Amino acid sequence: MATFNLFNYLEPPNAYYDFEKIYTAEQWARKQRWIVDYLNEYTPDVVGFQEVFSIESLKVLMAQQGYTYFAVVDTPEVIDDFIFKRPVVAIASKFEIVDVAAVKHNTELVEMLGLNSNFTFSRKMLRATIRLPHVGNTDCYVVHFKSKRAMIESDESTTSSAKTEPSSSEKNIIDTLKANVAGSWGSTIQCGSEATLLMIEMIARREATQQPMVLMGDFNNDLADGVLSHLLTNTLRFAPAFDVKTYLAKYCLNDAWQLFKTLKMSQFTAHNTQQNAGNADVQQSNAPAAPLLNRSPTHYYGTSSTVLDYILLSCEFDPSYDDSFYEVSDYHTYDRHLINPEYERDDLTTDHAVVSITLTLRS
């Protein structure tokens, strides 16, 4: 499985965001070729996409690569006939998609959380039920949460007092600062609310169907950040310990990276134990070092980097759960175009790394 931010996937002669941003035919061909090259090299069976403008074009491209099933639940907004904004998420699969729906949030919960009654997700979230081998129908969610970009921009006409004189440089800075503080917090509220309302719907869906869950996408935030950390809630205060152990794991999500890391460390420990048992004279100093497992960033901005793209899994993919089917045997961050780009190959790719995982049946 892979999560793939396509970064303005829009077929010419249409434009993204303003009339000048249009790919030439050659640029568009290179962008599509890069996508195909990735698919051929890593061969994911299920791909969740973000930043899709040209839905039909992507559907055709994926069908040509053997992805028989494709789904979206929204369409981008078009202004002035050819300028597109508000891209959508999509999913492509080599396995049968048996049901597709846009996630609907609980309106009563919105009110309880103190949100505006007109609250909506910044981008519609997709749920595709896919018939995966061995586990059967699995609910795969594709998301693109609200970015950290401030929701409010400084506007001298509204932030300045009713003066006829132009604002001073200091006044401009003050107005911009206030807009940035308020706008950034507004984006944080939106992102955290989206994740919360989604998680509630996922839990309710799990309770009703008992189907495995996969959540993938561009989270636009570090998962360890308090804004999104509740997506990995696995403890409950004041609940009986027996009930928590028996039932809670069924409704929780696990970070695929952490599952992969735990598996590799357990395999290393088991191998060392077996080697030591076969050679009682082995010196501890000669034992192989534990594998270095460092998670690669998926997005770079200036001199900073962070992980924004994730795949989360329910307990059916966690070997520590007795009734699990699969384990995360590989986790890969495809970032060559970000850290070692070649112009001819990578100039029209994406500003995100592509994250993919391999699920293997437990032995």
Q: Each residue of 288-316: pLDDT tens digit? A: 666 778 999 999 998 899 999 999 999 99
Nearest to 227 by CA among 254, 187, 255, 257: 187
For residue 302, the model assigns a pLDDT of: 87
Q: How far apart are CA 325 and CA 211, in angstroms?
A: 13
Query: What single-letter DSSP state applies at residue 160?
Result: S
> Tell me: the pLDDT tens digits for 91-115?
999 999 999 999 999 999 999 999 9
What average pLDDT does this structure show over 163-171? 69
| Per-residue pLDDT tens over the stretch 221-237 | 999 888 898 899 888 88
The pLDDT value given to residue 127: 98
- Residues contacting 330, CB < 8 A, separation 6+: 260, 357, 358
Which pair of tokens denotes residue 196?
């919360």
Round the average pLDDT of the chain to a whole number and report it. 90
> For residue 96, what are the contacts with CB-CB under 8 A and spacing of at least 6?
68, 69, 130, 131
Cβ–Cβ < 8 Å for 336, 346: yes
Residue 176 CB partners (closer than 8 Å, separation 6+): 154
What distance in Å separates the CA atoms of residue 336 and residue 42, rounded to the nearest whole number? Answer: 13
Strand pairing class (213-218; 309-313):
antiparallel
CB 201 within 8 A of CB 105: yes
Helix or strand holding residue 109 (H, E)? helix 107-112
Assess contact for 71 and 124: CB atoms under 8 A. Answer: no
In the block, tokens 């003050």 appear at 174
Which tokens sit at 266? 């357990």
Helix, strand, coil distribution of the chain in percent, nearest 5: 35, 25, 40
- Across 159-168, 240-249, 325-334, the highest mean pLDDT is recorded for 325-334
Cα atoms in the Cβ-side hemisphere of radius 13 Å centred on 228: 26
The rounded percent of the chain whose pLDDT value lies above 70 is: 90
Helical segments of 156-255, H only: 156-159, 169-209, 241-247
The pLDDT assigned to 269 comes to: 80
Mean pLDDT of 185-214: 95
CA dist 222 and 255 (Å) reads: 12
Q: Give me the DSSP letters along 272-311.
A: HHHHHHH-TT--GGGSPPPP---PPPSEEETTEEE--EEE
At 102 the three-state DSSP class reads strand
Q: If you average pLDDT over each of 54-63, 79-88, 153-162, which comes out highest?
A: 54-63
Task: Say if CB 10 and CB 51 are below 8 A apart.
Answer: no
